[in-house]
Amino acid sequence: MTNLRFGIVTDFYGIQMPLPKALRCLSRRGFSDVEIPGRHLFEDALIPDGAPKVLKKLRAINKLTKDLGITIWQIHGPGNDLAAESQNTRNNNIDVFKKWLECCQEIDCRCLVIHLGTNGFGDSKEINRIKKRSLDSLFKLSEYMKGEKVKLALENYLCKHLDSPGDTKTYGFPISGLKDLISQLKSENIGLCLDTGHANIEGIDIPSFINEMRSFLIATHIQENNGINDMHMFPFSLRRIFSKMDWFAIFRAFQKINYPYPLVGECANSLGELPFWLKDDYLKSQKGLLDKVLLSSMSQSSDSK
Domains of the chain (ranges, CATH numbers): 6-303 (3.20.20.150)
- Residue 49's Cβ-side half-sphere holds a number of Cα atoms within 13 Å equal to 11
Q: Provide the residue-wise pLDDT of the chain in tens; the chain has 305 residues.
A: 568 999 999 999 999 999 999 999 999 999 999 999 999 999 877 766 677 888 999 999 999 999 999 999 999 999 899 999 899 999 999 999 999 999 999 999 999 999 988 776 556 778 888 899 999 999 999 999 999 999 999 999 887 655 555 555 677 888 888 989 999 999 999 999 999 999 999 899 999 999 999 999 999 999 999 999 899 999 999 998 899 999 999 999 999 999 999 999 999 766 678 899 999 999 999 999 999 999 987 776 555 55
SS (H, E, C) 259-275: CCCCEEECCCCCCCCCC
State which amino acid sits at residue 154: L
Helix (H, G, I), strand (E, B) or coil at 10: coil
Tell me 147's DSSP state. T
Q: Could you give the CA distance from residue 142 to residue 97 in angstroms, rounded to a whole number?
A: 11
pTM of the model: 0.93
What element of type H or E holds 129?
helix 124-145
Ramachandran category for residue 200: left, alpha or beta (phi over 0 → left; psi -120 to 50 → alpha): alpha
